[in-house]
Chain A
Amino acid sequence: MTPANGRFKLILTLILALLLTVLPVPEPLDSFRPDWVLLVLGYWCMALPYRVSIGYAWMTGLTLDLLLGAPLGIHSLALSIVIYIIVMNHRLIRNISLWQQALIVGFLAMLNKLIIFWAEKLLFDISITPMYLWSILSTMLIWPWIFLILRKIRRQFAIR
């Protein structure tokens, strides 16, 4: 096996997740947009923790900052911390049921959002609205499907 085994497909799924994050949707749906990047990156880190970890998280976070026009470094910081937690506990997360995993993903999505909020709060005088946290729910609900789809992709192309 070459070390670049499936790297292209792996990065493609990440790019797709980034695209879904910046894709415009109607206003009412916008606050329910799942945290696509966290879902996809989280899956890969859980499945292949020796390959995909903080390096990927940091680079993806930086791209996200650029795409969203956020101050650089904010999403990299949040994603690095969240991905660290996933990689440290990947054995535990792998061995529990999908719905329990969804709960953990929801918790991590909340952590991600709160780190971003806190970091931006240091820079600007912003305030949080309950709308900001609604997407945690949709992130939780969509996790099982993302998990199954990405597992299929991983097995199909034997990415390891």
Chain B
Amino acid sequence: MKPIFATSTSLQLRLFFAVIASFSLIIFDSKFDSFSNVRLYLNTAVSPLIYAADIPSEMLKGVSNTVVTRRDLKKQVKEQKDKLFVQQVQLLEFKHLKEENNRLRALLNSPVHSDQRKLVAEIITVNSDPFSLQVVINKGSLDGIYIGQPVLNEQGVVGQIVDVSTTYSRILLISDITHGIPVRVQRNDIRAIANGSGELNSLNLPYMPHSTDIQVGDVLVTSGLGGVFPEGYPVATITEFTYQIGQPYAQVEAKPVVALERIRYVLLVWDDEESKSTTDTNKEAVL
């Protein structure tokens, strides 16, 4: 039996509740950090859909892996072996330098850089919100990933984690319009903030006086000042430095070092200072 009367009023009431609920969700989700716990559970609930959407591209990858010819594979293996050899030799030098650096830092009474915990994750190819630049990776809170964790790859800084579930998480790329990263110019240690522009391959540096010594081609590295990203990783190269008379600041643009449109693997880094301070507070709590 279909109710004929009184449906239109209840429909309006339902719309009213839906709109109120949506607005309160929008406000809660974007303004209160404590809501991220709820989001973790909700994300985990929809994670099967994320993984299901990734199946076709995984299958395509499988197909392209099986149709590779033997000769190509041999060539690839040889190239990789050569590369590994060269890098292993470089690593020997690096170990020596690292020890030396630690000793020198100890002499200066500076904190010694210790090894950080790292984890490799693979990108899950799913469609995302068209207004933000995000990618999804196949590791989540079960692997210890947390919101605000820095994400790198072999070229430089990729972004940071903004959303986690138990089995997948979302990276906000450095060129997203809401993202900012503290950097310094590698050549002369000038500090700046690199804000995302909303376009994948462009960052801008606001509030730079026109007398600043920045040139096109300068490399920007993380300054470690924000407390999110570890120090010294390459972020971007300057592509434009222009100054118009009458404008208070120069227009500075940079291009991310990482080819953000074709990343496949990323490296997640755990900040050792943070783990240290949490263990410290744990100790205090125990005492």
Contact = CB atoms under 8 A, between A and B. Distances in A.
Interface in A95-132: 117, 119-120, 123-127, 132
Contact of B15 (A18, A50, A54, A68): A54
Contacts of B131: 70, 117, 120, 124, 126
A6 to B, nearest CB: 16
B104 interface: no
Contact of B198 (A74, A81, A127): A127
A25 B8 CA distance: 40
Interface in B1-41: 2-3, 7-8, 11-12, 14-15, 18-19, 21-26, 28-30, 39
Given A69-B136, A73-B21, A88-B8, A132 B130 contact: yes
A76 B22 CA distance: 6
A15 interface: yes
A142 interface: no
A68 B22 contact: no
A23 B25 contact: no
A123 B26 contact: yes
Interface residues of B, number: 47
A24 interface: yes
Contacts of B12: 84
A102 B253 CA distance: 44
Contact of B127 (A24, A61, A73, A76): A24
Contacts of B132: 69-70, 124
By secondary structure, the B interface counts as helix
Contacts of B22: 58, 61, 73-74, 76-77, 80
Interface residues of A, number: 44
A123 B130 CA distance: 14
Contact of B43 (A53, A58, A66): A66
A3 B32 CA distance: 39
Contact of B49 (A19, A76, A77, A127): A19
Contacts of A57: 18
A25 B108 CA distance: 55
Nearest to A74: B26
Interface in B119-164: 125-132, 134, 136, 162-163
Contact of A72 (B3, B18, B25): B25
Interface string A14-53: 0100110111110000100100000000000000001001
Given A69-B132, A88-B8, A123-B30, A58 B21 contact: yes
B15 A81 contact: yes
B46 interface: yes
Interface of B: 2-3, 7-8, 11-12, 14-15, 18-19, 21-26, 28-30, 39, 42-43, 45-46, 49-50, 52-54, 56-57, 125-132, 134, 136, 162-163, 170, 177-178, 198
24 contacts: A15-B49, A19-B52, A19-B53, A23-B53, A23-B56, A50-B7, A53-B11, A54-B18, A63-B49, A69-B132, A69-B134, A71-B29, A72-B42, A73-B24, A73-B25, A73-B26, A76-B21, A77-B19, A77-B26, A80-B22, A117-B131, A119-B26, A120-B131, A124-B131
Given A54-B11, A57-B18, A67-B46, 18 more contacts: A22-B53, A22-B127, A23-B56, A24-B54, A25-B127, A33-B127, A53-B11, A58-B21, A69-B129, A69-B134, A69-B162, A72-B25, A73-B22, A76-B18, A81-B15, A120-B131, A124-B177, A124-B178
